[in-house]
Every structure is written in C-alpha cells, then in structure tokens.
Structure 1
Amino acid sequence: MDLIVGDDGRARPSWAVSSPMYLEYYDTEWGVPVRDERGLFERLSLEVFQCGLSWSTILNKRERFREVFHDFVPDTVAAFSEADVERLMGDAGIVRNRRKIEATISNAQATIALRDDGGLPLLIWSHLPEVTPAPATMADIQAVSAESVALSKALKKRGFRFVGPTTMYALMQAIGMVDDHPVGSWRRGSSGVFGPDGRALPQDQPAD
C-alpha cells in the first residue's frame, strides 16, 4: 500500500502529500462529483490543456485560466475571436498552445450545440461505469477504460477536440465518475456515486 498517514491520522496516496497544493486538491476536489455544464466545461478544458504536461502545471495556472477564459462560461468562450486567440497566446500565465486554445473555443461551441440534445452533463454522465475500480495502490490505477473510450468517441462525434480516451479517463477521475482513491485512503467512497460494493448507485440516491 503506497499510502501515507498524515499528522491528522488520514491516509492518502503519496502524490497527494507531495505538495500543499496537491494535498488541498486531493482532500477537497479530486473525485468530487461535478454535474453542471459550466463546471464540466471548465474541467474538460483544463484536461485539454494538461495533455502532455503535469497536472501541477495546470493547478498552478488555474486561477489565471479562469480569469482569461471568463470563468469558463461556455457562451462567452464560444464567442472568442481571433483577437482573443492572440491575446491568450501572449499571456504567460496560461499554457500558450494555439491548438489547445482553439480547441477550447470550439469545445465551447460544441457544448452550446449539445443543449438541444440533453446537454454536456447528460452526455458525460451517461458513460458512468456500472462498477468503479478498487485500486490497492496508485500503480493499480488504469489510464483508460471502456467507458472513457466510448466517451471520447461520443464527444468527438459532437465536434469536441483533444478528448482522447486517456484525457477522458482523467476527467472521469476528477469529476467522480470513477473512484480511484486507493483502498484505505480516507477519501475512498466519499463521492456518493458508488455503494460499498463499488456498484454505481442511482444518480439521485446518496451513498450510506
């Protein structure tokens, strides 16, 4: 078990205690369900920018991302112009990658288009697995799943970009669609999405 028990008596994986930033993220956010459109668009966008980079890079720049992308309101981002792209390319506070910036704008447009067909939350959460993994260590955590492959295909079909299966699995971890807190971690089972047996609960039913 690669869990570390902190001074507070709580067990966490080693990565979660590697910095105060990671500790805060692990304890309060990673694996907490996100079901609203704006929140999901923000998380998806950050995962897009994370491709090929460390997550710490994104967390360090997150507040600036929120500022320059106007809190990731899809309607606002969808209306960004080429001048906005150039503005973002000149901002050292974010990841200056033109393809990812342009993908975020087009993903905002795709998010708006989805509203006529149930919306982004419905599309993403319809790929909730029936059973969550139960990793004994962080080394047991997979990088993709059948559900993340299916989600990737569904999003690409609706015009989303930079949404490969690995990126979508990271999104699923972050928003509580899988519980990849290692067995023994104090956060294991805290999302309310899965029951004690690891099976998904009806989405309007909290866990005991």
Structure 2
Amino acid sequence: MSDYKHDQTQKFRCPWCLGFEDYIRYHDEEWGVPVYSDRTHFEFLVLESAQAGLSWSTILKKRHGYAKAFKDFDYRKVADFSEEEIANLITDPNIVRNRLKIEAAVNNARRFMEVQEKYGTFTGFMLDFVDGKPVQNAWNSMGEVPATTDLSNTVAKELKRYGFKFLGSTTVYAHLQATGIVNDHLVHCFRHQEVKRMAK
C-alpha cells in the first residue's frame, strides 16, 4: 500500500480519487478501463444504482459486501432472488439497506438477461451506442467533465425502455466512465494515455 503513497508524489491523478488508498487503487487499476465482460458490467450497474444519493467512496467501501450479497455479481442467480432473499438483504449491514435499490438490482438482473437475449451480450449492446469505439475525451480540469451527455441520455432512455430502474442519465454516465466506454481521465492524468491504448 505504501507504493500508492509513493506514486502519489510522482504521478498526476484525477483529483477525485485522492481520498483514501482503495480509491486511488480503483482509479489506477479499474476506472476507465474498457470492460468486455458482461458480469463486470452487471457489477458496476449494481454498485452505481446503489450509489444514488450517496458518494462513490461509500459504495467502494462496501464493494466486498455487495459481492457476497449478490452472488459475486452472477446476474443469473440475482435474477432468481426470492422475496425472502430480498428481505434478508435489507438487514445486511454490508450493503446499502434500501429496499427499492435492492429490488432494482434484482429487476435489473432480469432486464440484463433480456438485453443479452436480443443482442448476444450486454457489452455489445453498450458498445453499439459508440459504434464499437470508446469515446476519448480530453478534459483539462474536473470542472470540464460533465455529469450527463447526449450519449448518457440516450443510453438511459433505452435502459428505461427495457425496464431498468435506478439508472438515470447521471448514473449511466458514471457507468460509461467506469467501464471505459468513455475515457474521462484528465489529459494530464498518467492513466489517460494508458486507458486510451487499451481500447480495442
């Protein structure tokens, strides 16, 4: 963990990640990396929909709890959750105990598989919105980074049409950033070029 503290003095990072070491690690290793795994897309959908009204750091600290509660983000298993299992999750202190968000995660697992049935993969569905090529932005400061875009509005509208819940445009844009469909690392961040090279 000391490596992250040491690196912090040598590398410029997007300022939002500098709260604690797990946040820095998430920024350095995951955020913005193009995701081609449906399971990983589902994981971020669960976490991001849970974030509504909360900070990402709060959710990140509960990530292991979510992995356990939601069967390591196996959407097939989550889609089969019973009312009893949902009720049990509401008492789980390791996740956000909000019934509507928990029910939304179960609902979204079912909708997720409907998208897969039509498109083959959820990843393919998402990449279709950018013609298969992740968007490479070039922001110089956090003040330039938008909370929503025409792209996130379009994706959110389509997800709503499928019946997804707790995935408005702001949450969807966070998903696009996290999963590398949009590269929003600041241009001076050492990860900007690294992430750009990862896009297929």
TM-score normalised by length of structure 1? 0.86
**Rounded Cα–Cα distance in structure 2 between residues aligned with 1:102 and 1:17:** 32
- 1:126 alignment partner in structure 2: 128
Whether the 8 Å contact between 2:136 and 2:196 is mirrored in structure 1 is no
Higher helix share: 2
Post-superposition Cα deviations, 1:106-143, rounded to whole Å, max 9, x if no partner, equal 11011112222113112212122775321111111000
Return 5+ residue gaps in structure 2 as ranges: 1-6
Deviates more, 1:127-136 or 1:97-106: 127-136
Higher relative contact order (CA 8 A, sep 6+): 2
**Rounded Cα–Cα distance in structure 1 between residues aligned with 2:117 and 2:16:** 40
SS in 2 for 1:11: coil
Please, which of 174, 178, 182 is the counterpart of residue 178 of structure 1? 182
Write out the 4+ residue segments of structure 1 that deviate beyond 4 Å after TM superposition. none
Aligned-partner residue type, residue 64 of structure 1: G
Deviates more, 1:129-138 or 1:58-67: 129-138
SS in 1 for 2:183: coil
* Root-mean-square deviation over aligned CA pairs: 1.7
Structure 1 residue 193 displacement after superposition? 6.4
Q: Pick closer, same or farther for the CA change 1:42–1:146 going to 2, 3 Å.
A: same
2:37 is the counterpart of 1:40: no
- 1:109 alignment partner in structure 2: 110
Q: Pick closer, same or farther for the CA change 1:193–1:121 going to 2, 3 Å.
A: farther
**Sequence identity of aligned pairs in percent?**
38
- 1:149 alignment partner in structure 2: 153
Whether the 8 Å contact between 2:138 and 2:184 is mirrored in structure 1 is yes
TM-score normalised by length of structure 2? 0.90
Whether the 8 Å contact between 1:176 and 1:193 is mirrored in structure 2 is no
Post-superposition Cα deviations, 1:157-183, rounded to whole Å, max 9, x if no partner, equal 111111111100000010111111111
- 2:3 alignment partner in structure 1: none
2:94 is the counterpart of 1:93: yes
Whether the 8 Å contact between 1:103 and 1:162 is mirrored in structure 2 is yes
2:162 is the counterpart of 1:158: yes
